[in-house]
Amino acid sequence: MARWGSRAHPAMQVPSPSVREAASMYGTAVAVFLVILVAALQGSAPAESPFPFHIPLDPEGTLELSWNVSYAQETVYFQLLVRELKAGILFGMSDRGELENADLVVLWTDGDSAYFGDAWSDQEGQVRLDPQQDYQLLRAQRTPGGLYLLFKRPFATCDPNDYLIEDGTVHLVYGLLEEPLRSLEAINTSGLHTGLQRVQLLKPNISQPALPADTRTMEIRAPDVLIPGQETTYWCYISELPAGFPRHHIVMYEPIITGGNEALVHHMEVFQCAAEFESVPHFSGPCDSKMKPERLNYCRHVLAAWALGAKAFYYPEETGLAFGGPGSSRFLRLEVHYHNPLMIKGRRDSSGIRLYYTATLRRFDAGIMELGLVYTPVMAIPPQETAFVLTGYCTDKCTQLALPPSGIHIFASQLHTHLTGRKVVTVLARDGREREIVNRDNHYSPHFQEIRMLKKVVSVHPGDVLITSCTYNTEDRRLATVGGFGILEEMCVNYVHYYPQTRLELCKSAVDPGFLQKYFHLVNRFNSEEVCTCRQASVPEQFASVPWNSFNREVLKALYGFAPISMHCNKSSAVRFQGEWDRQPLPEVESRLEEPTPHCPASQAQRPTGPTVLSIGGGQG
Amino acid sequence: MARWGSRAHPAMQVPSPSVREAASMYGTAVAVFLVILVAALQGSAPAESPFPFHIPLDPEGTLELSWNVSYAQETVYFQLLVRELKAGILFGMSDRGELENADLVVLWTDGDSAYFGDAWSDQEGQVRLDPQQDYQLLRAQRTPGGLYLLFKRPFATCDPNDYLIEDGTVHLVYGLLEEPLRSLEAINTSGLHTGLQRVQLLKPNISQPALPADTRTMEIRAPDVLIPGQETTYWCYISELPAGFPRHHIVMYEPIITGGNEALVHHMEVFQCAAEFESVPHFSGPCDSKMKPERLNYCRHVLAAWALGAKAFYYPEETGLAFGGPGSSRFLRLEVHYHNPLMIKGRRDSSGIRLYYTATLRRFDAGIMELGLVYTPVMAIPPQETAFVLTGYCTDKCTQLALPPSGIHIFASQLHTHLTGRKVVTVLARDGREREIVNRDNHYSPHFQEIRMLKKVVSVHPGDVLITSCTYNTEDRRLATVGGFGILEEMCVNYVHYYPQTRLELCKSAVDPGFLQKYFHLVNRFNSEEVCTCRQASVPEQFASVPWNSFNREVLKALYGFAPISMHCNKSSAVRFQGEWDRQPLPEVESRLEEPTPHCPASQAQRPTGPTVLSIGGGQG
């Protein structure tokens, strides 16, 4: 009777022809509006626009997620639009986008009734109902455009099988159910059509500063590009500022996405080229094209960066990013990452970024500073590690020398590693005590590097220490992964956006090379192996000859946590501030920040203890 | 009106004279029986004797705990007898017996009403009510002998402030409230009269084997000793078996405690002296007395051991501990530990152990085997460590050689360390995979070393590996703590009781001394310090000269987890089995046993959400 889809609008796919026939008995061609009020709305959704954030989940764009965050309730409100519903859908979150060990909400039908329940998948992908139902259905609504599911989830549930929604990247996952099920436990995610989408779910709750009256806009857009029919394309396009374009401040920028390409445009960045070149050749093509002029490699100064799910980026009221005027290049490089896993052909695109700028310069120029590790092979990760941590320091000595007495104010941050990076965090320490997190991503992905506004501006004073740690997974590597520029080498960097601009561009460290040589010597001594400890061998060669047993791994960790460091406290990548920067002591941190204990939802009584039955009834709208 | 104690029996202490006067208004001299039924009995207590286990909590014996364990419900049923109630009482559990970070049940009065609630104390000793009430009051009953409180607690509650009741030692704590309180939060444990008692709460649920028809008993008792008026006394008493006493099997033993001394007799052991001495001089006096004959030091073969809270010890039906007959000494040493913190004087004691033995020898002789670490200084713990782990191995090579093809069966175990030991565990591994826990104590105390029956007999086969790990706390030490016999040195031993007896008495390991010398060499090289790496220095001297920074600590850990070991696979403490036992590889363990996830109590609805009010009413009995 209440068989799933049995009263469906014709636009909805239904499980079998016989059901489709039944559907025609009930269905009408006009806009049928089936409102399924499942439960009294508990609590009220935040005011304003109820769902300011949107993201397509699948490459076809048949699943669309909108959401909002209530920091007061520590709850995310989700609205999932399912354009083509078959027998149900799984949606949820997992550590790195896998469908195993995922925290799921499942909408399914057994043929008779439809259900909505909080579930999880174990390490084999077997789905089970949660004893504690933390996803709470607020409304289910059918429209001609598809089924809207409105539900909420607290950040933390204290159910050990649930995902903890944290700042930083969240890997959203989905799966499509094609057939009705006897029970939820009949689902194994390995048999489904599934996918993942990365997003920063907990967008900061920052009020947008008003734009100046003389704000003008400039669009840096792809020139009607034919998106290649391949999974990954980085498109490069050179444009230029008008001749004589004077110094301005960028105060805001926002994405422009060509309609219909929302699921294809993965991220975009606008770079300014190096000032030393009079001109840069015009180019529009894949960034890895052999035809690409070599000079484009010198267009690396970030002016704007956007990634999927991000909205407009506003500079704080008192600051702007300078561009134009003497001493800066007129040439801009737009880079668009097209992610086209279905290899759709023939799609054209003019996406880009719209810069909002003012001639009335704001009080402060914004600056970008690089924190973390120097790009050097002395910092290496042994192979077959699941969570090896490397740490780079910006020491008190350097901040003492290079920061103004009133300090600097970090308002945004972009984390960066290469392929094996899994987590990144920067912590501010003062007087030997960790004080606050500058930025942290416990589910960092090298494939999703956004500039993120900080929830709270972090002020750094002379004498403060900034500690950036990256966690790597090298399970798929046979040899050590050393630091460096190559894509198979590693980096650990946090580009922090701050004001007022200082001359300090780079505050990074690496282990003292002499101590690393002592390490190779002891490896040789303990392992009776032919580790080349001769100075003629390069550090990557030395690392490649280490036999990676537990002792050599542990001692390398101990070395990195103990040996003195070599500091790069630099005005530009090559010019150091004056002073002694080699064999510096590691900053001592006596007290660590405590992990905040997640608040479990207070009233457990309100939550349903089992799945919600969607009694599909309602009238015509 | 319902003021605490206002209808108390005269035997009860009341908070102030005025209340005592009020009490006389209501009190009667005959046996008043105030039955306070607080809540409907939820679930039913286990059958049989409801509370088979008893222990006095305080040295005066005014608090007495009885308990029972339901493994089916994963719940402990407590009955607390409070002989002299003032304004209330705290009772609970904590990691090592401290009153801070303790999981507490509190009975208190605000002067008007009396309350029973589940609470906890933070690290400052501040008491707070638990949002989740997991101690559940079943009955409160006043008798002339005191107030009986009957309550239950699941092993695991999944409340992060609650104690997890595990196998092994539990540190019970108590505190006495002298005055009525405005609220529970007014309590800070630092201001109370408090104490602790160690006990194995989760006694194994083993059916007692029937005793043979020809069982006889023998009592080894202290000879009416005058207990010294000092906190700690180990009393030594030599007794002897009748001349010509033939070989028998001990099949059971139980404690005999002189009435009134229940809180003073802490533990007792019966040792057999070494067979090589024709005679041992008679002696009765403190074991550390200068008058004690030196020969008593050769009476170390354990026949029976009892500690506070333990009941009778039954050998499994098929085995018994041999004593008497040719080749064994007729002399027995009884050791009684009197724990007398109140320094009570003039108390006499005849406590001891009653052996039950049979002349009809059982099928198997029981044996005792020593697992863990060799007593050698090469195994050391750096100072200022909170949880440093040392591990000793009984390797596959040794069990292959020394165990019978059908294996041995471990039925009991006694864990042993010196003063810095905090945890001990022995795990059985087979084919590189951990299979089962032989015995584990996560709250081990060197002051509470019982022989414990295992919940489940563990069979060890030739080729199996037994891994014994001890966790130490050396926060109060200035220098490294090395392995050895001295009380300020350390041990890591598990004496396992098993059958059938084999010739393998000792299966222990220590790090290869050559690798330790490499360690001292590298410490010297890395630290540019004057660490004496010369071979002439003794190992304790070398350890004493190590500068204990993070690197040296971590590398020592890595060394112990990597370097080859020297095995003691011995028939007796000095005689090895034939074979090569030096520079043996560490057993490889690829898969570890997973920690069992504690079951949280299923139905949260049943539990009260706040304290229970004891409406003190009732009639005369």
Contact flag A554-B562 (C-beta cutoff 8 Å): yes
Mutate to test the interface with A, among B546, B562, B590, B599 (most CBs of A within 10 A): B562
Unique residue bearing structure tokens 């705990």 = B65
Q: What is the mean pLDDT of residues B217-221?
A: 97
Residue A533, pLDDT score? 56
| Whole-Å CA distances, B405 to B459, B463, B502 | 12, 10, 12
Residue A152 and residue B359: Cα distance in Å, rounded?
A: 74
Do the chains contact at B550 and A562, CB–CB below 8 Å? yes
Q: Between A515, A555, A597, which is nearest B555 by CB?
A: A555
B461 a catalytic residue: no
Q: Which of B518, B526, B558 sits opposite A554 (nearest CB)?
A: B558
User: Are B554 and A551 inside 8 Å of each other by CB?
Assistant: no
Mutation test of the interface with chain A: which of B512, B519, B527, B555, choosing the one with the most A Cβ atoms within 10 A?
B555
Residues of B with CB under 8 A from a CB of A: 160, 515, 518, 521-522, 525-526, 549-551, 554-555, 557-559, 561-563, 597, 604
Whole-number pLDDT of residue A257: 95
Closest CA to A174 of A83, A52, A268: A83
Whether A129 has a pLDDT exceeding 70, the answer reads: yes
Residues ≥6 apart with Cβ < 8 Å to B315: B209, B249, B250, B251, B252, B321, B362, B366, B411
Task: Give dist(CA B294, CA B151) in Å, integer.
Answer: 51
Phi, psi of B551 (to 5 degrees): -65, -50
Average pLDDT over residues A153-179: 91
Residue in A518, A549, A550 nearest the CB of B526: A518
Mean predicted lDDT score pLDDT of chain A = 86
CA A278 to chain centre: 36
3-state secondary structure B1-68: CCCCCCCCCCCCCCCCHHHHHHHHHHCCCCCCCCEECCCCCCCCCCCCCCCCEEEECCCCCCEEEEEE
- The minimum CA-CA distance between A549 and chain B, rounded to whole Å, is 8
Residue A333: pLDDT over 80: yes
Report the C-alpha gap between B601 and B155 in whole angstroms.
9
Residue-level pLDDT at A50: 85
Closest partner residue to A522 among B522, B557, B604, by Cβ?
B522
> Per-residue pLDDT for B31 more than 60?
no
Give B-chain residues touching A553 at CB under 8 angstroms. 558
| H or E element, residue B582 | none
Residues of chain A in Cβ contact (below 8 Å) with chain B = 160, 515, 518, 521-522, 525-526, 549-551, 553-555, 557-559, 561-563, 597, 604
The angle formed by the CA atoms of residues B313, B315 and B317, to the nearest 5 degrees, is: 140
Residue B514 pLDDT: 93
**pLDDT of B21 over the 50 cut:** no
A201 vs A420: CA distance, rounded Å: 23
Give me the residue from B515, B525, B558 closest to A558, CB to CB.
B558
Residue of B24 and A159 predicted with greater confidence: A159
Q: Could you give phi then psi for residue A202, rounded to 5 degrees? A: -85, 75
Residues B561, A555: C-beta atoms closer than 8 Å: no
Q: What is the pLDDT of residue B300?
A: 80
For residue B263, give the H/E element and its range: none
Flag the least confident range among A119-123, B274-278, B605-609: B605-609
- Short-list B319, B315, B336, B212, CA closest to B267: B336
Residue B28 has pLDDT above 80, yes or no: no
The CA distances from residue A47 to A69, A77, A135, in Å, are 11, 12, 20
Query: Under an 8 A CB cutoff, do B554 and A555 touch?
Result: yes
Instruction: Kindly report the nearest CA distance between residue A7 and chain B, in angstroms.
Output: 38
Q: Which residues of A are catalytic?
A: 234, 416
CA distance A550 to chain B (A): 6
Q: Decide: residue A285, CB within 10 A, 0-12 exposed, 13-18 middle, 19+ buried.
A: middle
Nearest-by-Cβ selection for B518 from A515, A525, A550: A525
Tallying the residues shown for chain A, one arrives at 621
Band (A113; pLDDT cuts 50, 70, 90): confident
Closest CA to B414 of B472, B485, B494: B494
Q: Say if the Cβ atoms of B561 and A550 lie within 8 Å.
A: yes
The tens digit of pLDDT for each residue in A287-299 reads 888 888 988 888 8
The whole-number pLDDT of residue B231 equals: 86
Q: Is there a contact between A325 and A247 (Cβ–Cβ < 8 Å)?
A: yes
* Residues B551, A559: C-beta atoms closer than 8 Å: yes
Query: How do residues B291-314 score in pLDDT, each as one tens digit?
Result: 889 888 888 888 898 887 778 999
Give the nearest chain B residue to A586 (CA atoms). Answer: B550
| pLDDT interval class at A452 (50, 70, 90) | very high
Q: Which residues of chain B lie closer than 8 angstroms to A522, CB-CB?
A: 522, 525-526
Structural tokens at position A313: 């980026």
Instruction: Give the integer Cα–Cα distance in Å for B559 and B563.
Output: 5
Nearest C-alpha in A relative to B520: A522
Helix extents (H) in B68-215: none
**How far are the Cα atoms of A76, A119, B382, B531 from residue A73, in angstroms, in the given order?**
9, 22, 47, 58
Residues B58, B341: contact at Cβ < 8 Å? Answer: no
Has residue B12 got a pLDDT over 70? Answer: no
Q: Which of A13-22, B28-37, B372-381 has the lowest mean pLDDT?
A: B28-37
Q: For B236, list phi and psi in degrees, rounded to 5.
A: -110, 135
Q: Do B558 and A551 touch (CB under 8 A)?
A: yes
Residue of A526, A553, A595 to mutate, interface with B, max B Cβ within 10 Å: A526
Query: What's the average model confidence in pLDDT over B163-180?
Result: 95
pLDDT at residue A35 is higher than 50? no
**Whole-number pLDDT of residue B41:** 36
* Distance, CA of B22 to chain centre: 45
pLDDT above 90: percentage of residues in chain B: 63
- Tallying the residues shown for chain B, one arrives at 621
User: What burial class does residue A501 get, using C-beta atoms within 10 Å of its C-beta: 0-12 exposed, 13-18 middle, 19+ buried?
Assistant: middle
* Residues in A touching B554 (Cβ below 8 Å): 554-555, 557-558, 561-562
The pLDDT of residue A519 is above 80: yes
Decide: helix, strand or coil at residue B555.
helix
The residues, any chain, with a CB within 8 Å of residue B1's CB and separated by 6 or more, are B112
Best of B512, B518, B554, B599 to disrupt the A interface (most A CBs within 10 Å) is B554
Q: CA of A416 to nearest chain B CA: how many angstroms apart?
A: 29
Phi, psi angle pair for A245, to nearest 5°: -60, 115
Indicate the SS3 state at residue B496.
Answer: strand
Average pLDDT over residues B42-68: 77
- The pLDDT mean for chain B works out to 86
Mean pLDDT throughout A194-200?
Answer: 94
Beta-ladder partners of A53 = A67
Instruction: Name the band, by pLDDT with cuts 50, 70 and 90, for residue B111.
Output: confident
Which pLDDT band holds residue A36 (cuts at 50, 70, 90)? Answer: very low
**Residue B531, pLDDT score:** 58
| Model confidence band, residue B507 (pLDDT cutoffs 50, 70, 90) | very high
Contact A526 B549 (CB under 8 A): no
Q: What is the pLDDT of residues A556-572, one digit of tens each?
A: 999 999 999 999 999 86
CA distance B567 to B510: 7
Give A-chain residues touching B608 at CB under 8 angstroms. none
The region, left, alpha or beta by phi > 0 then psi within -120 to 50, assigned to residue B550 is alpha
* Residues contacting residue A535 through CB under 8 Å, at least 6 positions apart: A517
Residue in B160, B515, B562 closest to A549 by CB: B562
- Which residue(s) pair with A424 in the sheet? A441, A470
Of all helices (H) and strands (E), which one includes residue A556?
A: helix A550-560
Q: Which residue of A has its CA nearest to B563?
A: A551
Peptide bond into B500 cis (omega under 30): yes
B234 as an active site residue: the answer is yes
Question: Residues near A92 by Cβ (< 8 Å), separated by ≥ 6?
Answer: A102, A103, A104, A105, A120, A163, A172, A173, A174
Looking at the complex, report in whole angstroms how far the Cα of residue B610 sits from the nearest Cα belonging to chain A: 14
pTM of the model: 0.79
- CB contacts of A563 in chain B (<8 Å) are 551
Bridge partners of A612, per DSSP, are A116
CB-based contact B168:B139 (threshold 8 Å): no
Nearest neighbour of B550 by CB, restricted to A525, A561, A597: A561
Q: Which of B54, B148, B339, B416 is catalytic?
A: B416
| The pLDDT of residue A4 | 41
Taking CA atoms, what residue in A is nearest to B605? Answer: A605
Q: What is the mean pLDDT of residues A67-85?
A: 94
ipTM of the modeled complex: 0.71
pLDDT at residue B331 is higher than 60: yes
Which has the higher per-residue pLDDT, B60 or B578?
A: B578
Q: Which of A33, A181, A193 is nearest to A611 (CA)?
A: A181
Q: Record the tokens describing residue B593, joined without a space.
A: 């046993």
User: What distance in Å separates the CA atoms of residue A411 and residue A362, rounded to the nearest whole number?
Assistant: 16
- A465, two tokens: 């220490």
Whether the predicted pLDDT of A418 surpasses 70: yes
Query: Read out DSSP for B325-351?
Result: STTS-SEEEEEEEEE-TT---S-EE--
Residue A9 pLDDT more than 60?
no
Which two tokens mark B596? 């069992």
Best-predicted range by mean pLDDT (A48-52, A426-430, B116-120, B230-234): A426-430
pLDDT at position A320, please?
96
Q: Are the C-beta atoms of A179 and A19 separated by less than 8 Å? A: no
> In the predicted model, is pLDDT for residue A1 greater than 90?
no
- How much is the pLDDT for B530? 57
- Band the pLDDT of A6: cuts 50, 70, 90: very low
Output DSSP code: residue A591: B
Question: Looking at chain B, which residue has its C-alpha nearest residue A599?
Answer: B160
Least confident of A198-212, B22-36, B425-439: B22-36
- Mutation for A interface: B130, B512, B522, most A CBs within 10 A: B522
* Rounded-to-integer distance, Cα B216 and Cα B250, Å: 9
C-alpha separations of B374 from A300, A616, B82, B498, B512 in Å: 62, 72, 46, 20, 12
Q: Which candidate in B234, B339, B447, B461 is catalytic?
A: B234
Strands (DSSP E) found in B96-168: 103-109, 114-121, 127-129, 136-143, 146-154
Predicted confidence at residue A534, as pLDDT, reads 59
Per CB-CB distance under 8 Å, the chain A contacts of B559 are: 551
User: Which residues of chain B have a CB within 8 Å of the CB of A597?
Assistant: 160
How close, in Å, is residue B287 to chain A by CA atoms?
A: 45
A345 close to A354: Cβ distance less than 8 angstroms: no
If we measure between CA atoms, which residue out of A387, A396, A409 comes closest to residue A316?
Answer: A409
pLDDT bin (cut points 50, 70, 90) of residue B580 is very high
Encoded amino acid at A232, one letter:
T
Which long-range contacts does A22-29 make (Cβ < 8 Å, 24+ apart)?
A: A28/A620
Residues in chain B closer than 8 A to A160 (CB atoms): 597
Q: What are phi and psi of B189, to 5 degrees?
A: -65, -20
Residue among B591, B592, B587 nearest B397 (CA)? B587
Number of A–B residue contacts, CB under 8 Å: 50
pLDDT at A450: 85
Residue A126 has pLDDT above 70, yes or no: yes
Mean pLDDT value across residues A125-129: 93
d(CA B329, CA A602): 67
Inter-chain touch A554–B550, beta carbons under 8 Å: no
What's the pLDDT at B529? 56
* Chain B residue nearest residue A526, CA to CA: B518
* Lowest-pLDDT range of A374-383, A470-479, B64-73, B520-529: B520-529
User: What SS3 class is residue B20?
Assistant: helix
Predicted local distance difference test score (pLDDT) of residue B130: 86
